[in-house]
């Protein structure tokens, strides 16, 4: 009988075990009110088995999460190493391209090649880039800096909004605050484990 119950518990999900535990608690309360001591004892034994099954399921889920996190870390490390290798190759190729371009511009500056250089199939042109602002001679926030050249960007201060929300200020007209849930996997301390066993 006990082995059959254990097999059933092993096959049940954490959700099903939790529902069974709640159901057994209800049955225990009902049997206690009716004074059915024998039934109460039987239900308590079943509840202990279910609770043990719940604890086992929780440990199993946490173990799977640990393995997934470990696997994820391994793949993340591999990804970083591969990315570093690719970055080195890309950087080397970019450097080679820039060197070729700088060499061609230098040859153009000293007059050894023209603006347009024609090969059998390809053409190399030396052209001016679009103009760009290389350096500001006056600080943007300086009063002498012309307003027509200044752009003002507005950005919400989310930190201040959250601080106002936490302090109890009504910010419902300004922003919508959401509070999500997170799952944490912790290892029970030996002290807590002993206290739990002693309590049982």
pLDDT > 90 in the chain, percent:
44
Q: Tell me if 138 sits within 8 A of 144, measured CB to CB.
A: yes
Q: Is the pLDDT of residue 35 over 80?
A: no
> Please, what is the average pLDDT of the chain?
80
Residue ranges per structural domain of the chain: 1-96, 136-180
pLDDT for 1: 39
How far apart (Å, rounded) are the C-alpha atoms in residues 43 and 38? 9
Span 90-116, pLDDT tens digits: 999 999 999 999 999 999 999 999 999
pLDDT band at 17 (very low <50, low <70, confident <90, very high): low
42-50 contacts at long range (C-beta below 8 A, 24 or more positions apart): 46/5, 47/21, 48/200, 49/2, 49/5, 49/6, 49/9, 50/9, 50/17, 50/20, 50/21, 50/24
Sequence-ordered strand ranges (E) for the chain = 116-118, 123-125
Range with lowest mean pLDDT among 83-92, 178-187, 191-200: 191-200
Please give the model's pTM, rounded to 2 decimal places: 0.53
Reading the block at residue 103, the tokens are 């060499």
Residue of higher predicted confidence among 40 and 150: 150
How far apart (Å, rounded) are the C-alpha atoms in residues 27 and 43? 7
Q: Is the pLDDT of residue 134 over 60?
A: yes
SS3 content of the chain, % helix, strand, coil (to 5): 65, 5, 35
How far apart (Å, rounded) are the C-alpha atoms in residues 51 and 53? 5
Q: Is the pLDDT of residue 13 over 80?
A: no
Q: Is the pLDDT of residue 33 over 90?
A: no
pLDDT band at 48 (very low <50, low <70, confident <90, very high): confident
């Amino acid at each position: 009988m006990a082995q059959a119950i254990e097999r059933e518990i092993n096959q049940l999900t954490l959700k099903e075990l939790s529902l069974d535990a709640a159901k057994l608690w209800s049955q225990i309360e009902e049997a206690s009110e009716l004074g059915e001591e024998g039934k109460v004892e039987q239900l308590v034994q079943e509840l202990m088995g279910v609770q043990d099954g719940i604890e086992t399921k929780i440990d199993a889920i946490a173990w799977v999460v640990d393995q997934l996190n470990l696997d994820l870390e391994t793949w993340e490390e591999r990804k970083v190493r591969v990315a570093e290798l690719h970055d080195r190759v890309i950087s080397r190729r970019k450097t080679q391209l820039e060197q070729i371009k700088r060499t061609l511009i230098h040859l153009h500056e000293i007059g050894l090649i023209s603006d347009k250089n024609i090969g059998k199939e390809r053409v190399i042109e030396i052209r001016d880039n679009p103009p760009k602002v290389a350096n500001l001679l006056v600080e943007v926030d300086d009063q002498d800096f012309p307003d027509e050249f200044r752009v003002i960007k507005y950005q919400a201060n989310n930190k201040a909004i959250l601080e106002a929300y936490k302090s109890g200020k009504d910010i419902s007209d300004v922003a919508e605050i959401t509070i999500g849930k997170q799952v944490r996997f912790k290892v029970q301390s030996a002290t807590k484990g002993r206290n739990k066993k002693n309590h049982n």
